[in-house]
Amino acid sequence: MVTVKLYGMPYSTCTKRVYTTAQELDDVKVDIVPVDLASGAHKDPAYIDNYHPFGIIPVLEDEDGTKIYESRAISRYLVAKYGKGSPLLPDSSDIKAYGQFEQAASIEYSSFDPPASSLAFEKVFGPGRGLKTNEELVKKYIDTLNAKVEGYERILSKQKYLAGNTFTLADLFHLPYGAMVNDLDPSILSSKPHVKKWWDDISSRESWKAAQNIQL
């Protein structure tokens, strides 16, 4: 069992993304090192200099001292290093599976994340910092998500997961913002039968449940 440090916070969507990935691996324990955004710890010059050039969270510090940021990159790194051969991350030598996986991972980044994270900001994270919700933008993000879900339904009516019939990081990456979207408007992920089935499946994984109860 290896123990890695993750500079982050339990409520952070991107911290949860990495934590969920680690839970899918047999031999990785994650110790969260809190970076208190409320007190501006992420803007400390020493943090920016040593951990994250953009002053955000999370950052991984591996046992050998390797540091990586960007939650999806950290997740890929953890699987590549500690989950060799795992179907979570197809190797590029299996060109067909690799192409399908990268396609699915990119769909999450281009089609799902922008409206989902913007909706979460408008309704939850922004108001948490005292900003007023812009209802016109909320409607725009929900409309976009509903339109994108039609593409997801087309994909998921032909295969069980986004990259094929096996659960991969491309599905997992949806969990943190997907859960917020689902809380804010349960109709989005439940209006299409195959999307609903997929969402119910991936959101009931033990790894994700654990990420919602991170203990410092």
Residue ranges binding a copy of itself (CB under 8 A)? 48, 53-55, 66, 68-73, 76-77, 80-81, 89, 91-92, 95-96, 98-100, 102-103, 105-107, 109-111, 114, 148, 151-152, 154-155
Q: Is-cis flag, bond preceding 58, omega within 30?
A: yes
Q: How far is the CB of 81 from a copy of itself (least distance, A)?
A: 5
- H or E stretch at 44: none
Q: Report in angstroms how near the CB of residue 97 gets to a copy of itself at its nearest.
A: 11
CA 74 to chain centre: 11
- Measured from the CB atom, is 102 or 203 closer to a copy of itself? 102
Residue 114: other Cβ atoms inside 10 A:
15
* C-beta separation of 189 from 178 below 8 A: yes
CA dihedral sign of residues 151, 173, 12, 37: negative
CB of 76 to a copy of itself, least distance (A): 5
Nearer to a copy of itself (CB atom), residue 98 or residue 210: 98
Contacts of 146 (CB under 8 A, 6+ apart): 188, 191
Q: Which is nearer to a copy of itself, 80 or 206 (CB)?
A: 80
CB nearer to a copy of itself: give 134 or 187.
Answer: 134
Nearest distance, CB of residue 66 and a copy of itself, angstroms: 7
